[in-house]
Amino acid sequence: MCFKKKGALKNHIRIVHLKERPYQCEKCSERFKTSWNLKDHMITHDDERPYKCDQCDMCFKKKGGLKRHIKIVHLKERPYQCEKCFERFKTSWTLKNHMVTHNDERPYKCDQCDIKGGLKIHIRIVHLKERPYQCEKCLESFKGLKTLRNHMIKHRS
């Protein structure tokens, strides 16, 4: 990398290589690499939300937050796509969580038995004995959607 000014090289070394964060927030003590990052952070301490959505009552501190809201909520955009199954997601965070379904790694296990993966549903159905799927015709409840669908065939005949 080349720099025209000696000061720019010094700043680059301090911030990138020495990982210095010379700018500190007076309200929460968080530190930042640049004065611009600090200034942008200061908005989080302000209650003002000047960016209002023209399609609902939501208001935002930053213009970027409003833009993201419109794309995801009103335009129903799902810009993050899984490279393995091509399912699309609203946020990078939900895509990241989804990616766990494609590997055999299951970092969490049930604290009542040795099952790994699908814990929310497993705990509700196996340990809490919930039957969340209910027939609209006879009100009988079932553990799984597949079982409910098989049951519904009885009502058709």
Per-residue buried b or exposed e for 73-102, using 16+ beta carbons within 10 Å of the residue's own CB: eeeeeeebeeeeeeeebbeeeebeebeeee
Residue 88 lies in a domain: no
Residue 102 lies in a domain: no
Predicted pLDDT of residue 117? 67
> pTM for this structure?
0.49
CA distance 150 to 15: 62
Q: Are residues 109 and 116 in contact, defined by beta-carbon separation less than 8 angstroms?
A: yes
Residue 145 lies in a domain: yes
Q: Which domain holds residue 134?
A: 119-156
Predicted pLDDT of residue 106? 65
CATH of the domain at 131: 3.30.160.60
Residue 105 lies in a domain: no
Residue 75 lies in a domain: no
Q: Report the domain count for the chain.
A: 2
Distance of alpha carbon 97 from its chain centroid, rounded?
Answer: 8
Range picked from 4-8, 54-58, 110-114, 127-131 for highest mean pLDDT: 54-58
